[in-house]
Amino acid sequence: MIRSMTAYAGTDLTINQIRAEIEIRGYNSRNLDVSIKMPPTCQYLEEKIRPLIAERITRGRIEMKLSIHCDGEAAQTYEVNESVADGYHGALKALKDRFHLCETIPLSLLAAKSGIIEPGKPEIDTETLWQAVSGALYQALDALNEMKTTEGNHTAADLENRLTTIAGYIHEIEQRTPGLLEHYQQRLKDRINALTHGMVGIDESRIAQEAAFLADKSDISEEITRARSHMEQFKQLMNAPDPTGRSLNFLLQEFNREFNTMGSKVGNAEISHIIVSAKTELEKVREQVQNIE
């Protein structure tokens, strides 16, 4: 299955006036790397959240942000900051004494002071909180994976086209290899003539023997067979039910090794140029695979 590592999703879920908001982003990474931001009062949930993410995502950097809100009556509680109230009241009393004022300090003056009366932090049922958080997380992960799959489908289509191009290069290389024997025979004759200026007769049987030796040494039929095998395995991995980014990346290394071996064996310029073109296309495939989960 081809699934991109880059994606974004955001969801929220309310249960019994407890609303959990989750934003989750995916980025490229060699392994699963999870970063979670949440309110300090919810830090104990991290050990529950990480396994849920690992169930749905196998590879990539995941950045998650969790926000908790209490709707309805639970949010209408208030608390008095007594230390601030005492300090403010003491300052007002000092002013009253300083100017010999008789009137009392009104409650409305104290209540208007910022920081004395603040919204309270209501008691939250931990079980309900986890239901809201886990439910929102599952929704976010489903949406994230849906986007990752959509992006992966575009990547898969591009990979299919590139694999078709590489298969064409392999076929072209194979079509040109039978002519290597004649190529080496002619090359040996040209070298002998260049060195002797045509003054020494050419032993055709010896030329044929040396050319056959070079052709055998340059035989790349095994590499072509393995390259085709790697291509078939690559396609199978693309259609596998589980994420296979790591396997595809490893297989590409083997694939590239076959072309490197072909290039080192073959002394034919035309075939070498085709091999270079195939490796260039293979590098584009490798770049795409780096973003596959």
What separation in angstroms does the CA of 222 have from each of 12, 55, 164, 215, 255? 56, 41, 20, 14, 13
pLDDT at 84 over 90: no
Give the predicted TM-score (pTM) of the model: 0.69
Cα separation, 32 vs 29, in Å, equals: 7
Q: Check: CB of residue 105 under 8 Å from CB of residue 90.
A: no
Cα separation, 281 vs 188, in Å, equals: 33
156-193 pLDDT per residue, tens: 999 999 999 999 999 998 887 765 556 555 665 566 55
pLDDT at 2 over 60: yes
Percent of the chain with pLDDT over 70: 82
Q: How many beta carbons lie within 10 A of that of residue 252, not counting itself?
A: 19
Q: How many C-alpha atoms does 156 have within 13 Å on its Cβ side? A: 21
Q: Check: CB of residue 140 under 8 Å from CB of residue 24.
A: yes
Short-list 278, 180, 168, CA closest to 220: 180
Mean pLDDT for the chain overall? 85
Return the minimum-mean-pLDDT range out of 65-79, 87-101, 160-174: 65-79
Measured at the CA of 27, the angle between CA 43 and CA 257, to 5 degrees, comes to 135
Q: In this structure, what are the phi and psi dihedrals at residue 161, rounded to the nearest 5 degrees?
A: -65, -40
Two structure tokens written together for 8: 């974004």
pLDDT at 32 over 70: yes
Q: Any idea how long the chain is?
A: 293
Which residue is listed with tokens 């795409």? Answer: 288
Q: List, in sequence order, every residue forming a beta bridge with 35; answer none if it has no partner.
A: 63
186-219 pLDDT per residue, tens: 665 566 556 556 555 555 666 555 545 555 556 7
Q: In this structure, what are the phi and psi dihedrals at residue 111, rounded to the nearest 5 degrees?
A: -65, -25
Res 285: pLDDT: 96
- Backbone dihedral region for residue 264 (phi beyond 0: left; psi -120 to 50: alpha; all else: beta): alpha
Q: In this structure, what are the phi and psi dihedrals at residue 199, rounded to the nearest 5 degrees?
A: -90, -10
Domain boundaries, the chain: 7-74+123-147, 78-119, 150-289
Beta-carbon contacts of 111 under 8 Å, excluding residues fewer than 6 positions away, are 117
Q: Check: CB of residue 240 under 8 Å from CB of residue 2.
A: no
CATH number of 7-74+123-147: 3.30.230.10
Res 188: pLDDT: 54
DSSP state at residue 205? H
Res 200: pLDDT: 52
Q: Check: CB of residue 23 under 8 Å from CB of residue 10.
A: yes
